[in-house]
Amino acid sequence: MFSPEVRDAIVTSLAAMSLWEVAAVILALAYLILAMRENILCWYAAFASTAIYLFLFWDVSLLMESALQVFYLLIAVYGWWQWRSRSGQKASLHIHRWSLHRHLYTFAGIGLLTLMFGFVLDKYTSAALPYLDSFTTWGAVVTTYMVTRKVLENWLYWIVIDGAAIYLYIDRELYLTALLFALYVVLVIIGFFQWLPLYRQQNPSMEPSATV
């Protein structure tokens, strides 16, 4: 499946992983699996994983990535707030869908931000694949917000974003991370098909078409 060079790179990456990095990866996977189950504990896992990544990225001087983790910390708190119920034990926000027009506006917004930040990175920094990097970053920001609002289509967005991220990480020879994101793609597909019947149960009077 992989060339000897790629296999060696994956083994080397595994050997170089710190216990903190392992914990961050496990917690990130826990977040995704719990979100698939519509379990509010996913936001606790997201907060813990993000807090670890913030310090890991800062330690290796990835300042922009560290700044992005601050956003993820805030969105984890916001997501918990949106999903909570009066008892604080079970998520009360129902899964819903966005209208086609809202998706089109979202695509346009992500595209515009990608072009703007990609241009700045390309012109003023030595960033690799600046436009693809901008797309995966802003796409993840928007789609994470969709998760907090329980928008069904968030899983479809993640397929595209994580798929693009796989190419990005392979280009940078981060093969272990690329392998992790390949696993994410499989999990988000499963997540969509887990949420779809829940959406239908929670919205029995709704037609299959999207809501505003």
Query: What is the mean predicted confidence (pLDDT) over 181-210?
Result: 86
Please give the single-letter amino acid code of residue 25: V
**What ranges do the domains of the chain cover?**
4-202
pTM over 0.85: no
Percent of the chain having pLDDT more than 70? 85
Determine the pLDDT at residue 207.
53
pLDDT at 74: 95
Q: Does residue 79 surpass a pLDDT of 60?
A: yes
Lowest mean pLDDT among 89-93, 112-116, 149-153, 166-170: 89-93
Q: Write down the pLDDT at residue 164.
A: 92
Tokens of 19: 């216990």
**Which long-range contacts does 138-146 make (Cβ < 8 Å, 24+ apart)?**
138/110, 138/113, 138/114, 139/110, 139/114, 139/164, 141/68, 141/71, 142/106, 142/109, 142/110, 144/72, 144/75, 144/79, 145/75, 146/98
Question: Do 176 and 14 contact (CB within 8 A), yes or no?
Answer: yes
pLDDT at residue 150, rounded to an integer: 94
Beta bridge partners of 96: 151
